[in-house]
Amino acid sequence: MTELAITVIGPDRPGIVAEVSAALAGVGANLSDSTMTRLRGHFTMTLICTGADAAEVSAALEPLEGVLATVRAVEPSPVASDGEPYLVSVHGADRLGIVAAVTREVAAAGGNITDLTTRLTGPLYVLVAEVDLPPGAAGNLSVRLEHAAGDLGVDVTLRRAEPDVL
């Protein structure tokens, strides 16, 4: 089944999620995975939906005031992950290129980023990423991240995020 990749961004205000999700439900768009969060003053929604037509979804979102939406049809893209889950935390003084430098090292180690958040608060820049690493890659990545962090003047930690199945 074709999926719709939808992004919605607008000034944060109470009711924005309710309005967008009502508009989607109104045209039969079923939310499967989504992430919605406030980035500075903007409320952002990234969603994968099924069951609706892209043009109908666009038309349903169009009247929402102050909201910028994109809708496109995509083929389902399942990804198998056999990697070991790790968490990367970076914090330090803000400067250009922190995300680029850190994620370059992760990619070079064969790591796959599955989730990433950055926050700038005053002079402090923080990056937290969930990374799937190939078995045995953590030691090498840890050394490379230390070097990159040294060059950037930030602190980095790489730690295992293995869940315990109960």
The residue ranges that bind other proteins (CB under 8 A) are 37, 78-81, 85, 114-115, 117, 130, 161-166
Instruction: Please say whether the beta carbons of 61 and 23 come within 8 A.
Output: yes
Indicate the helix (H) or strand (E) that contains 93: strand 84-93
Gap between the Cα atoms of 39 and 73, Å rounded? 25
β-pair partners for 15: none
| Choice between 93 and 161, CB closer to other proteins | 161
Nearer to other proteins, 16 or 57 (CB): 16
**Rounded to the nearest whole angstrom, what is the least distance from the CB of residue 76 to other proteins in the complex?**
11
**Among residues 54 and 116, whose Cβ is nearest to other proteins?**
116
Q: What are phi and psi of 156, to 5 degrees?
A: -135, 140
- Which lies closer to other proteins via its Cβ, residue 78 or residue 136? 78
Closer to other proteins by Cβ: residue 81 or 121:
81
Q: Determine if residue 16 is left, alpha or beta; phi over 0 gives left, psi from -120 to 50 gives alpha, anything else beta.
A: alpha
> Minimum distance between the CB of residue 1 and other proteins, rounded to whole angstroms?
16
Angle between helices 138-152 and 98-108 (to 10 degrees): 160
CB of 164 to other proteins, least distance (A): 5
Helices 16-26, 54-61: axis angle to 10 degrees equals 140
Report the nearest approach of other proteins to the CB of residue 15 (Å): 18
CB of 84 to other proteins, least distance (A): 12
